[in-house]
């Protein structure tokens, strides 16, 4: 009989993102607050007896060797003989949005197959695999909202007040490398503190990538103006192109799904709530990574 799991892979929002420097190897030094939200993909896993990894896409078609497949194949190295799996992906998180969809999918894949295959690997091992796949994967494995710095490898758990958000993804996407390599990108923001963030978590700081993104992608500017016209203070998440705003009143009535009708038809909009922890917290054995940073 085949074993199977259905698991969520939640998106994240960057409540702020400051670029504080650049290392000699070209990697940027960052500070950010990562927050999980309830916009998620769903991954379905079934065991295979032939050792193969296969994937079926529902909705958006993913690249053949995407992060999910790469995560599964990397995990196979920890079992002999190599187990197999068939993975069905119901993709809802938009791509090239700055919402971490691909990294979240990879993390949920590692957590699910670690359990499905009975490997029982600790979080530290999964984090090592995840970091080779993408800088954001360890965040989703860890499972807490987090203060993130360095090149993304330093994390500290954050408690963030519960709130609702409107998240808008314009039709155009943005390539992360293109945004970070832009010559006009600000790379010398002052170092921020957690205490400063905690005093105003939804209004603190800015996204240093936003100005570059607006110059590259008119949809980012259009979405921010649309939110502003609704009386909301929007901000881009990650390297874009999605933008978001807390659904709190600044001028006029708070936005609801009833007054989305004037948004362009090719935008993706969703009301979201933030999550206190990842839905799969506890799916891998805890170790020294249960507190502190990866």
Contact 47, 54 (CB under 8 A): no
- Decide if 136 is catalytic: yes
Q: Which of 12, 91, 169, 230 is catalytic?
A: 12
- Decide if 91 is catalytic: no
Q: Which of 41, 136, 144, 222 is catalytic?
A: 136
Q: Which residues are catalytic?
A: 12, 136
């Amino acid at each position: 009989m085949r074993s199977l799991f259905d698991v969520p892979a939640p998106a994240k929002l960057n409540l702020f993102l400051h670029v504080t420097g650049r290392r000699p190897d070209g990697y940027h030094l960052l500070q950010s607050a990562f927050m999980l939200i309830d916009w998620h993909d769903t991954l379905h896993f079934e065991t295979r007896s032939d050792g193969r990894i296969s994937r079926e896409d529902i909705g958006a078609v993913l690249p053949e060797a995407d992060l999910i497949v790469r995560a599964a194949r990397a995990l196979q190295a920890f079992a002999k003989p190599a187990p197999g799996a068939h993975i069905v992906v119901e993709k809802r998180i938009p791509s090239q949005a700055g919402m971490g969809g691909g990294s979240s999918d990879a993390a949920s894949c590692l957590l699910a197959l670690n359990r499905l295959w009975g490997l029982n690997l600790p979080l530290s091992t999964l984090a090592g695999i995840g970091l080779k796949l993408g800088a954001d994967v360890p965040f989703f494995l860890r499972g807490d909202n987090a203060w993130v710095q360095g090149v993304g490898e330093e994390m500290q758990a954050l408690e963030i007040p519960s709130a609702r958000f409107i998240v808008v993804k314009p039709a155009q996407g943005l390539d992360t490398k293109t945004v970070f390599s832009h010559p006009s990108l600000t790379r010398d923001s002052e170092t921020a503190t957690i205490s400063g963030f905690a005093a105003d978590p939804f209004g603190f700081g800015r996204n240093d990538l936003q100005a570059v993104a607006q110059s590259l992608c008119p949809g980012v500017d259009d979405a921010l103006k649309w939110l502003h016209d609704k009386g909301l203070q929007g901000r881009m998440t990650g390297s874009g192109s999605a933008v978001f705003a807390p659904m709190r009143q600044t001028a006029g009535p708070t936005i609801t799904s009833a007054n989305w009708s004037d948004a362009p038809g090719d935008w993706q909009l969703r009301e979201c709530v933030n999550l206190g922890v990842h839905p799969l917290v506890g799916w891998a054995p805890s170790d020294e990574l249960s507190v502190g940073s990866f």
